[in-house]
């Protein structure tokens, strides 16, 4: 990777995405990019951001999209970046607390190649979150108030779109294309991305099916979960979603949603409120019915939802109390993530999913189970004719060794397993002739 050190060049702001009253250009004082190996060795392998200093004291961040085995093909990165840039511009104009951004117009010869853009450096501190214990830690009323205002602001940004998908630039109109997600909600071969969708049911079923296919690849799903349990969970969830009238409902109003259920994407200011909401690369439009799945962390403090009513938005207050089904579905669709680490270690998630659908009045939902063993026996009988379950059984022996090692793995052993996972995924990509 090229290194830009003490290199001066002009960067013009793209007026489409700039705040009014700011200077039209800055002179770069220095930008140092660490060795590529140190970036790829990062255990999180996430989006990289490098601080840029200017001669007038202004600071930006150079934002480079995630590069790992879950990333889309390199020729699609520009598409992902353009979607994030488009979304951030719309949010900024709508008064949402997001970083200001600048799109490179003129890059000096020798600048680092790739898809990237610059964003405002925001001063703020991280928000710690522990849903299992006390909800938001060391919070103030200012934070809850700002969270409520954030969602009200999102709901007030009305976009002329007809579908669930990512936003892309197209003149003065909004243009919705497939959702530019990574991880399990992406194909390993062209056309890579899914969507756009008209209903939540279509979106969820597409994700479930792709996750089933990835589960059959022993190199994809985290080793701390039983592959048999993963398949049984996905098959049951598929049937529940398919029969759900609520999720099949078509709506005409669509809002912008972040796409990452993590309050850690927010920075807190010195008063305890929100300084900025970051990382919108997974954002997409979502129908108004599904808005509740983006307010999930407030479900751990439901009384705070009354703040919506104080602002005259009882419709959003209802999201806190009625969003259980979206929370449960999205937890189940995060199987490729190692967090929460103990998901599917007990029957709790199964009980929660069934209860959420049962509360909607849906028929044919399974009953209460006392143990994973009871649930597994039930599922093996119900889905005995499913081809994917039969295929997984043939691969179960190899998984057993990894699962037995998983709980007490050392760091070196975990790295060995990760490298095996990566090799298997890369082999699959090559077989599919993916660049």
**Same domain (yes/no): 135, 80:** no
Domain assignment present for residue 1? The answer is: no
Q: Which one of 89, 121, 153 terminates a domain?
A: 121
**Same domain (yes/no): 385, 279:** yes
Domain assignment present for residue 226? The answer is: yes
What is residue 170's DSSP assignment? B
CATH no. for residue 92? 3.30.200
H or E segment and range at residue 266: strand 266-268
Domain assignment present for residue 276? The answer is: yes
What is residue 287's DSSP assignment? E
> What ranges in 29-107 are assigned the alpha helix state H?
36-40, 77-93
**Same domain (yes/no): 196, 133:** yes
Q: Which one of 104, 121, 138 terminates a domain?
A: 121
Q: Strand pairing partners for 194?
A: 179
The number of distinct structural domains making up the chain is 2
Torsion angle in degrees (nearest 10) through CA of 133, 139, 144, 145: 170
**Same domain (yes/no): 93, 137:** no
Token readout for 162 is: 């007809």
What is the pLDDT confidence band of residue 412, given thresholds at 50, 70 and 90? Answer: low
Could you give the CA distance from residue 300 to residue 365 in angstroms, rounded to a whole number? Answer: 25
Could you give the CA distance from residue 87 to residue 76 in angstroms, rounded to a whole number? Answer: 17
Average the pLDDT over each of 67-81, 112-126, 178-192, 369-383 and give the range with the smallest value: 67-81
Which pLDDT score, from 0 to 100, does residue 424 have? 58
State CA 73 to chain mean position distance.
18
Domain assignment present for residue 378? The answer is: yes
**Same domain (yes/no): 106, 139:** no
Average the pLDDT over each of 57-61, 94-98, 214-218, 350-354 and give the range with the smallest value: 214-218
Domain assignment present for residue 337? The answer is: yes
**Same domain (yes/no): 49, 161:** no
**Same domain (yes/no): 96, 201:** no
pTM of the model: 0.77
What is the percent of the chain where pLDDT is above 90?
A: 22
- Residue pair 279/47 in contact by the 8 Å Cβ criterion: yes
**Same domain (yes/no): 351, 211:** yes
- Residues with Cβ within 8 Å of 170's Cβ and at least 6 positions away in sequence, in order, are none
**Same domain (yes/no): 203, 97:** no
What is residue 72's DSSP assignment? P
Range of the domain at 54: 10-121
Average the pLDDT over each of 195-199, 233-237, 403-407 and give the range with the smallest value: 403-407
Domain assignment present for residue 36? The answer is: yes
Assess whether pLDDT exceeds 60 at residue 411.
no
**Same domain (yes/no): 112, 252:** no
Assess whether pLDDT exceeds 60 at residue 60.
yes
Q: Which one of 88, 121, 154 terminates a domain?
A: 121
**Same domain (yes/no): 163, 232:** yes
Could you give the CA distance from residue 9 to residue 15 in angstroms, rounded to a whole number? Answer: 19
Domain assignment present for residue 5? The answer is: no
3-state class (DSSP) for residue 421: helix
């Amino acid at each position: 990777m090229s290194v830009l050190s003490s290199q001066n060049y002009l960067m013009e702001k793209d007026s489409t995405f700039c705040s009014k009253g700011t200077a039209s250009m800055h002179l770069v004082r220095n930008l140092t990019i660490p060795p590529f190996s140190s970036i790829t060795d990062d255990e999180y392998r996430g989006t990289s951001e490098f601080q840029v200093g200017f001669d007038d004291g202004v600071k930006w961040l150079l934002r480079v999209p995630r590069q790992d085995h879950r990333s889309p093909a390199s020729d699609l990165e520009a598409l992902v970046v353009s979607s994030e840039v488009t979304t951030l511009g719309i949010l900024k104009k709508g008064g949402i607390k997001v970083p200001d951004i600048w799109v490179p117009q003129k890059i000096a010869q020798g600048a680092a190649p790739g898809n990237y853009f610059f964003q405002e450096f925001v001063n703020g501190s991280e928000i710690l979150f522990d849903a299992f214990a006390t909800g938001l830690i060391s919070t103030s009323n200012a934070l809850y108030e700002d969270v409520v205002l954030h969602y009200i602001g999102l709901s007030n940004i009305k976009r002329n779109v007809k579908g669930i998908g990512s936003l892309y630039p197209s003149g003065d109109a909004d243009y919705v294309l497939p959702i530019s997600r990574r991880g399990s909600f992406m194909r390993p071969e062209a056309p890579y991305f899914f969507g756009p969708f008209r209903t939540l049911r279509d979106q969820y079923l597409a994700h479930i099916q792709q996750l089933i296919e990835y589960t059959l690849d022993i190199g994809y799903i985290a080793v701390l979960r039983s592959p048999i349990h993963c398949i049984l969970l996905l098959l049951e969830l598929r049937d529940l979603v398919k029969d759900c009238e609520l999720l099949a409902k078509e709506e005409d109003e669509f809002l912008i949603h972040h796409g990452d259920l993590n309050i850690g994407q927010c920075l807190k200011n010195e008063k305890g409120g929100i300084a900025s909401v970051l990382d919108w690369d997974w954002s997409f439009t979502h129908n108004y019915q599904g808005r509740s799945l983006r307010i999930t962390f407030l479900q751990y403090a439901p009384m705070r939802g009354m703040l919506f009513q104080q602002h005259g938005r009882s419709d959003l207050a209802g999201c806190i109390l009625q969003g259980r089904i979206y929370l449960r579905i999205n937890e189940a669709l995060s199987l490729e993530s190692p967090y929460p680490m103990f998901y599917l270690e007990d029957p709790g998630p199964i009980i929660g999913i069934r209860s959420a659908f049962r509360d909607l009045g849906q028929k044919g939902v399974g009953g209460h189970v006392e143990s994973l063993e009871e649930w597994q026996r039930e599922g093996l009988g119900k889905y005995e004719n499913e081809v994917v379950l039969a295929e997984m059984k043939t691969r179960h022996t190899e998984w057993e060794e990894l699962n037995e090692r998983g709980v007490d793995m050392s760091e070196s052993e975990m790295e060995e397993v990760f490298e095996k996972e990566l090799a298997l995924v890369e082999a699959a990509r090559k077989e599919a002739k993916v660049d």
